[in-house]
Every structure is written in structure tokens, then in C-alpha cells.
Chains A and B, each alone.
Chain A
């Protein structure tokens, strides 16, 4: 492996890891703050990717279109979806056992997959990256690297930074952190915890949808894409430590590197490497790398 290939693989690993982080961060937030095991989180990623495919013509004809307008509409829809879902399906689940939540969100996966199949069919689709980002950057003498992949990494980094600032620097972030530490206490201080949860859930859904939308041009849009990402994201959440954004970032980058280089260097064992890594880390640190607290 020469230097240029190595560099390209590094960039790929970074992009994959950051994308994973976006989906996993929503999962770890919903998990850590609301205590809900949300199996349907992968479906939001899938919904995002399909939105990127299906909304583009609609947005194009009404607003004059473009990738970024589609992205904007997608985010608005995602927030609405998250808000409504929390109200309809999750708000009565907090007092129940975790396994009831598992059952409920499993049901939601099936419903989302079938609704997708009813509305948009079961075909595999491709989404074109926007024209401004369609080019490639030369890397060394022979290699080039697509600009769009760099754009994905950039978007992910911006969102990660934004989330970090909201959590550590704003009043809302303070309330959310307090709510995850002690629900009753926050409630008795006069904060509407139900609304807070709804906001967190909607934000988590929106971030996963954005991840799906920006990923659509590089990973084709296909049925069942949510389930693949879901399991890997659970791995990320668990390695990083449940509820820890910092841990999720580190874990997703590590998994990005292991998976990307595993596919190049050890293709026979690529699938299993991530799980071996997870098992080793959990045997070493049974609570993940960073325990939220």
C-alpha cells in the first residue's frame, strides 16, 4: 500500500466513521437521556436516504430545487416526524420495562420498511451529488478523491461541533443533561420534561435523517439499509459508553478505521473484525470507553 492509497483509505475511514457518528449520536442521546432502546433508529437513516431520492423532484418543481433545498425540507420533515412519533408511540413507554420498548420499536421497523415499500417500491436507487460537489480532487499523481466525500465529513464535523456546543454551552443543553441525571428533580424545578424529551427525540431523528440524506449519493439507496447501520451503531454506542457523545465520536472513528482497513487488508475477516473489537473492548472495560455521568 503506497502513501496515496493509504491517505485515501484514511479519508474514507474518516468519512465512514463520522457518518456512523451522526446516526449513533442520536441513538446514544435517546438511550442515555430518555432511557429508550430505539431499534427503529436505523429506519430514520433509511428514511433520510429515501427522502434524498424521493423529495428531490418534488422540491425541484416547487422551490426551484437543488440538493440543499431538499436537505432543508428533509430536516423540517424529520423534526416533525420525530416530534409526532415521540408523542404517539414513545411518551407512554418511559415507565415500562426496556423490553417493551424493544418490542415496540421492532414493530416500528417493520411498519417503516413496509410503508417505504408501499410508497416507493423495493428498487435500489442512486442519488446524484449536487453539481458543485461532483468534482474530484487530485491526490498524488494517479489518484483522485471525490469532493463530495470531503463534504460529508465536513457536514458531520459541523453537526458534531454544533451538538457539542448546544450541550455544553446553552440553557437547553443544561436542562437536557439535568433531565438525564434526575428526571423527577428537573420536573419539580418547573421544567417541562416531556417537552424536553420530545425535543431530544426530534433532534435525534433529524440527525439520523440528515446522515441518511447526505450519505445517499455515496451509498446507494436500498431496502434494509437501516438495519445494517442500526447494528453497527449499537456497537458504536456500546463501545463508546451509553449516553456519551464523546465516546460515540471516538468509537465511530475507531470502527471507521477498523472496517475500512479491514476491508482492504483482510477482506475475508472484514465483517467480523468490528465485533471482535467490540468484544475485546467490553471485556477490558465492561462499561464502554467513556461512561456517561
Chain B
């Protein structure tokens, strides 16, 4: 299929470009792209929930923050901790909180789900914000960066870049595989019509919970990378602004595609850098949010399917007809269409007769 091939081509080219980028870039560029790749991992974690399963989580920053805080709290201030146990521990910490939150929140639906996930994220936020556990509002520093034996020292920007890219590729590949598996198909089914999935004999709750925990774990991985990169954590990592920003990234990129999360993270962060750039906007750069806001509004008006949908939008415009959409839209609001089996089965014999 041409479509499949172009997707594959895009992903390969994008990752190859990221792998070659350090040879061309200075230290500022490497730092920036490392940060964006961390956001991309974070955005991918949310894409699994929102784009694949149809669960709009507005508290994703909690898992990110827990991953980041775990990194700092678990490592000793003097000796370099080993990646081999620190990374899994951080991912597990975030996944454990996701298990707790998911087990409770998945009882609710739609907008209520959005708000309950926010509530649990705010709870985590206030725990680190108001108690001495995590250094309060001042945050805490990660003094020694983790290492992997003599192989990898994440204190070096290039090593961190490579490691982050590796993590990004791994997460992307994992989610792509997951999407093709029976489990991933079940998640997609839940997004399209949960009631019908239940009617066909799937117990949907464990599937949703598993997706929630996996997503939380990946967000924890992103948090780990962020803490190692910045060497500093503060409660803002768990604030709803970050949950909102990552949601914006995946919507901007285009929901329902893993590429969308990747593109969205890059687009969002690069737009931010663009409007913050004093070289282009001079003094006006301190009002960077205005440009960002207007761009976001324009993108909603002009790109209803996100950036990923642009080629298709152009194709439709050039060909001059709308390609029939067999693709099922995300139904976030309203109950799923009810299928009345009894009426149908009563109709069939009539037609036969």
C-alpha cells in the first residue's frame, strides 16, 4: 500500500535525520533537540491513551513528574547511580501511580474522566508542592547524572542525545507493534465503540487499565530523561499546564497517528522557539505567546486533521473530490450508537419471507 509505505518512509527519514543531526549542530541545537525528543516521548505516551484508546487524560504530567522526581530522590548525591536499575525504578514508580489512578478513574467517562485525571494529577502536584518530601516549591537538584558502567555517561550532552533518541525510537517501535497486536486492536475497538466491544465479549476495563499503566510508564520514562537532562526538578513538572501542553502537542500533530505525536512535539516546541527568538522578533519576543496562540487558532481553523492530515487535505483539494472517509472518527462526546439486535433479527426473516 502506498500509504503504508509513505508512513514508513517518513518515520525512517525522520529518525535518520535525528541520528545525523548532532554531526551538523552546535551544543545549543543538541540541547534543544534533546528536549524536544523528551517531549516527543511524553507526547507518544499520551497518544496511546487519547489517539488509540480514546481516553482523554488531562493529568499526564503527574506521571511525567513522578518519573522525574523518582530519578532525583532515588539517586545518591555523591555516587553516580546506574542506569540499569534507576531507569526501570522510575518507570515502575510512574506506572504504579498510573495503576492506582487508572483503577479508580476508569469508572468515569468522557469529560468526567478528563476532570478526574486532572484531580489526581493536582493531588500529586500539591503533595510535592506543599510537603518537604520533594523540596517544596524550590525543587531539588540532581547532582550526579546516572551512568551505565563505563559505557555511557549521561552527563555528556552527546551521550544523552543518543540515549534519548534511542528511547524515542524504542517507544515509537513499541507502540507501533502494540498497535498491530491483538491488544492494540482491542484498544482501537474501545475507542470506536466500547459498548459494542463489550457486546462481543471483551471485558474492556482491564484493557483500558493496561493502556493507562503502559502510558503512565512511558510518561515516567520521559520524566526520567527530563530530570537527567535538566538536572533539576520542581513541582511545575506536574502542573496542569504541562498536561495541557502535551495534549495540545498531539492534537496539533494529528490524533490517531504515532507520527502525529512526533510531529506535534516538534511543531509545538519549534514554534515556541521561533516566537521566543529575539533575532527575528526583537523586543516583541517577550510576547511570544501571542504568536503561538494565533498559530494554534489558525491551525484549528485550517487543519482540522492536524499537521499529519495536511497531505491528505491537499490531495483532496487537488483531486477536487472528497475521498470517502471510511476512517472512523473519534467519538468523544455522546453515547455510542445503540445497536438494537432484537429489531434486526426480527427484520431478517421478514425479508427472507
Q: State whether the Cβ of B13 lies closer than 8 Å to any Cβ in chain A.
A: no
Q: State whether the Cβ of B108 lies closer than 8 Å to any Cβ in chain A.
A: yes
List residues of chain B with CB within 8 A of the CB of A242.
111
List residues of chain B with CB within 8 A of the CB of A89.
297
* A113 interface neighbour in B123, B289, B294, Cβ under 8 Å: B289
Shortest Cβ distance from residue B77 to the other chain A in the assembled complex, whole angstroms? 26
**Which A108-127 residues have a C-beta within 8 angstroms of B?**
108-111, 113-115, 117-118
Assuming the A-B contacts A99-B56, A272-B126, are A110 and B290 also in contact, with contact meaning beta carbons closer than 8 angstroms in the complex? yes
List residues of chain A with CB within 8 A of the CB of B301.
92, 104
List residues of chain B with CB within 8 A of the CB of A279.
104, 116, 119-120, 123
**Which A252-293 residues have a C-beta within 8 angstroms of B?**
268-269, 271-272, 275-276, 278-279, 282-283, 286-288
Is A282 a contact of B115 with CB atoms below 8 Å? yes
Q: State whether the Cβ of B177 lies closer than 8 Å to any Cβ in chain A.
A: no
Q: State whether the Cβ of A100 lies closer than 8 Å to any Cβ in chain B.
A: yes
Binds A, one of B141-149, B221-229, B327-335, B343-351: B327-335
Binds B, one of A60-68, A129-137, A230-238: A230-238
List residues of chain B with CB within 8 A of the CB of A173.
none
Shortest Cβ distance from residue A156 to the other chain B in the assembled complex, whole angstroms? 23
List residues of chain A with CB within 8 A of the CB of B7.
none
The CA-CA distance from A271 to B62 in the complex, in Å, is: 16
Is A269 a contact of B130 with CB atoms below 8 Å? yes
The CA-CA distance from A269 to B125 in the complex, in Å, is: 12
Q: State whether the Cβ of B248 lies closer than 8 Å to any Cβ in chain A.
A: yes
* A272 interface neighbour in B123, B255, B330, Cβ under 8 Å: B123
Q: Which partner residue on chain A sits nearest B247 by CB separation?
A: A102
The CA-CA distance from A235 to B289 in the complex, in Å, is: 26
Q: State whether the Cβ of B107 lies closer than 8 Å to any Cβ in chain A.
A: yes
**Which B109-140 residues have a C-beta within 8 angstroms of A?**
109, 111-112, 115-116, 118-120, 122-123, 126-127, 129-131
Q: State whether the Cβ of B154 lies closer than 8 Å to any Cβ in chain A.
A: no
Q: Which partner residue on chain A sits nearest B117 by CB separation?
A: A279
* A231 interface neighbour in B108, B240, B252, Cβ under 8 Å: B240
**Which A129-184 residues have a C-beta within 8 angstroms of B?**
none
The CA-CA distance from A177 to B241 in the complex, in Å, is: 34
B interface size (C-beta, 8 A): 45
Is B290 a contact of A118 with CB atoms below 8 Å? yes
Q: Which partner residue on chain A sits nearest B301 by CB separation?
A: A92
Is B293 a contact of A111 with CB atoms below 8 Å? yes
Q: Mark B233-261, 1 if CB is under 8 A from A, else 0.
A: 00000001100100110011001000000
The CA-CA distance from A89 to B293 in the complex, in Å, is: 13
Is B297 a contact of A104 with CB atoms below 8 Å? yes
Assuming the A-B contacts A282-B115, A282-B116, are A110 and B292 also in contact, with contact meaning beta carbons closer than 8 angstroms in the complex? yes
Q: Which partner residue on chain B sits nearest A99 by CB separation?
A: B251
**Which A85-114 residues have a C-beta within 8 angstroms of B?**
89, 92-93, 96-100, 102-104, 106-111, 113-114
Q: Which of B50, B130, B248, B296 has the most CB of A within 10 A?
A: B296
List residues of chain B with CB within 8 A of the CB of A272.
122-123, 126-127, 130
* B287 interface neighbour in A118, A231, A238, Cβ under 8 Å: A118
Q: Mark B50-65, 1 if CB is under 8 A from A, else 0.
A: 1000001000000000
Is B119 a contact of A235 with CB atoms below 8 Å? yes
Main SS at interface, chain B: helix
The CA-CA distance from A100 to B244 in the complex, in Å, is: 13
Q: Which partner residue on chain A sits nearest B50 by CB separation?
A: A99
List residues of chain B with CB within 8 A of the CB of A287.
112
Shortest Cβ distance from residue A128 to the other chain B in the assembled complex, whole angstroms? 29
Is B116 a contact of A110 with CB atoms below 8 Å? no
Q: State whether the Cβ of B304 lies closer than 8 Å to any Cβ in chain A.
A: yes
The CA-CA distance from A89 to B332 in the complex, in Å, is: 21
Q: Which partner residue on chain B sits nearest A286 by CB separation?
A: B108
Q: Which partner residue on chain A sits nearest B122 by CB separation?
A: A275
Is A99 a contact of B332 with CB atoms below 8 Å? yes
Is A283 a contact of B129 with CB atoms below 8 Å? no
Shortest Cβ distance from residue A116 to the other chain B in the assembled complex, whole angstroms? 10
Q: State whether the Cβ of A37 lies closer than 8 Å to any Cβ in chain B.
A: yes
Q: State whether the Cβ of B300 lies closer than 8 Å to any Cβ in chain A.
A: yes
List residues of chain A with CB within 8 A of the CB of B115.
234-235, 238, 278, 282
The CA-CA distance from A231 to B239 in the complex, in Å, is: 11
The CA-CA distance from A231 to B126 in the complex, in Å, is: 14
Assuming the A-B contacts A102-B247, A107-B296, are A278 and B116 also in contact, with contact meaning beta carbons closer than 8 angstroms in the complex? yes
Assuming the A-B contacts A99-B56, A283-B107, are A106 and B296 also in contact, with contact meaning beta carbons closer than 8 angstroms in the complex? yes
List residues of chain B with CB within 8 A of the CB of A111.
289-290, 293-294, 297
* B296 interface neighbour in A97, A103, A115, A269, Cβ under 8 Å: A103
Is A104 a contact of B296 with CB atoms below 8 Å? yes
**Which B260-316 residues have a C-beta within 8 angstroms of A?**
287, 289-290, 292-297, 299-301, 304
Is A98 a contact of B333 with CB atoms below 8 Å? yes
* B108 interface neighbour in A115, A271, A282, Cβ under 8 Å: A282
Is A276 a contact of B123 with CB atoms below 8 Å? yes
Q: Which of A92, A103, A227 has the most CB of B within 10 A?
A: A103
List residues of chain B with CB within 8 A of the CB of A110.
289-290, 292-293, 296
Residues of B within 8 A of A (CB): 50, 56, 104, 107-109, 111-112, 115-116, 118-120, 122-123, 126-127, 129-131, 240-241, 244, 247-248, 251-252, 255, 287, 289-290, 292-297, 299-301, 304, 329-330, 332-333
3 shortest interchain CB distances as A-B pairs? A110-B293, A107-B296, A114-B290
Q: A89-B297, A114-B287 are in contact. List 13 more A-B contacts (CB 8 A).
A: A37-B111, A98-B333, A99-B56, A100-B300, A107-B294, A107-B297, A107-B300, A117-B287, A238-B116, A271-B122, A279-B119, A283-B104, A286-B109
Sampled A-B contacts (10; CB under 8 Å): A97-B329, A100-B300, A102-B247, A103-B251, A107-B295, A114-B287, A117-B287, A272-B127, A279-B119, A287-B112
